[in-house]
Every structure is written in C-alpha cells, then in structure tokens.
C-alpha cells in the first residue's frame, strides 16, 4: 500500500502544529507567570490598568493589540536614551540598539538584559514569538529573525507600549 504524499504532509503538518501549540503554550505561560510572580505589585486588575492607561495603550499592553503602523512618534526618535515600558516604567531597550526597519513600528535588535519574557503567538495561524515586559506582563510586540547584526533579531515594538527617556547630558559631555 502506498500512502498519498499530500496526506502524509498534511498529517505531519497538523501533528507538528498541535505539538508546537501545546509546548509553546505551557513554556510561555510559565515564563510569564514567573515574571509576574517576581513583582506582584504589578498584578493589577483591569479596572486599575484602565485608570492608568489610555484606551489604546490598554488595548496593546493588556489585550495584546497592535497599533497601526507609522502612527508612533517614536519611529522618528533619534536621540540617545532608553525606551521604557509604558505600563510600569521598566527600561526595556537602549537607543543604541534601535534601527529603522521600514515596518512602521519602532524596532530594536536587542532588549536590555532580563527585561522581557516571550511566548508563541498563533493569532495569525503562523507561529510568531511575542514579547512582554518582564515586570508587569505588558504586551510590547513580536520578535522576528530578519534584523541586523549582531543578533539578526528585530524586536518590533508598539510605540504606544513604550515611553522614551532621553539621556541626561552634562556640560562636560561636549
């Protein structure tokens, strides 16, 4: 008996998808749960988050929404400084790792160490890696493997989920 290669491929794809969903779900939920447990002061109710955030920021940070491309003023931000989570003010990215990806969202090739948690997202059917603020769990964006050297990563961030803080320069900095 000969198996139809298309059926085998479909079966393999379905099995691989199911395994990916469940393994990604359990691993990522554990990462996010661990991050929120590290700082329980940020385990706030939706009502409290709604009072702290604009409706658009709430949608992105708490409901994993996405802002429209090319709408963030941070796309054109060129100053030296640090990008912080708009939910809890944890610093996430240095301006030294920001680059123009042409995608319409602020993009970085590397986060600051131990500042984000990731999980697999299947909202568009194709698996993507989404990342969240490690302290408050706020959704920031997705990471892709098409960024510049040295990491080859593109952390594509919702601008509404960030706050930029310019570096303070002294008179001695020239």
Catalytic residue among 85, 133, 136, 156: 156
Output 143-146 pairs: Cβ under 8 A, ≥24 positions apart. Answer: 143/118
Annotated active-site residue 88? The verdict is no
Which residues are CB-contacts of 127 (< 8 A; sequence separation ≥ 6)?
Answer: 20, 24, 120, 121
Q: Before 150, cis peptide (omega within 30)?
A: yes
Are the C-beta atoms of 69 and 104 separated by less than 8 Å? yes
> Taking Cα atoms as reference points, which of 56, 32, 3, 8 lies closest to residue 119?
32
Point out the residues that are catalytic.
156
């Amino acid at each position: 008996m000969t198996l139809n290669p298309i059926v085998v491929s479909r079966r393999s794809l379905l099995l691989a998808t199911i395994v990916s969903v469940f393994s990604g779900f359990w691993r990522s939920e554990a990462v996010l749960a661990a991050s929120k447990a590290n700082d329980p002061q940020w385990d706030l109710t939706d009502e409290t988050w709604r009072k702290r955030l604009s409706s658009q920021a709430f949608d992105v940070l708490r409901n994993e929404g996405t802002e429209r491309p090319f709408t963030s003023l941070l796309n054109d931000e060129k100053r030296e400084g640090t990008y912080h989570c708009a939910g809890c003010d944890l610093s996430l990215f240095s301006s030294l790792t920001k680059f123009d990806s042409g995608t319409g969202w602020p993009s970085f090739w590397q986060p600051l160490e131990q500042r984000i948690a990731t999980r697999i997202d299947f909202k568009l059917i194709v698996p993507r890696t989404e990342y969240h603020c490690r302290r408050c769990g706020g959704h920031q964006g997705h990471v892709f493997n098409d960024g510049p050297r040295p990491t080859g990563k593109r952390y594509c961030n919702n601008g509404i989920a960030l706050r930029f803080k310019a570096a303070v320069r002294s008179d001695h900095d020239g």
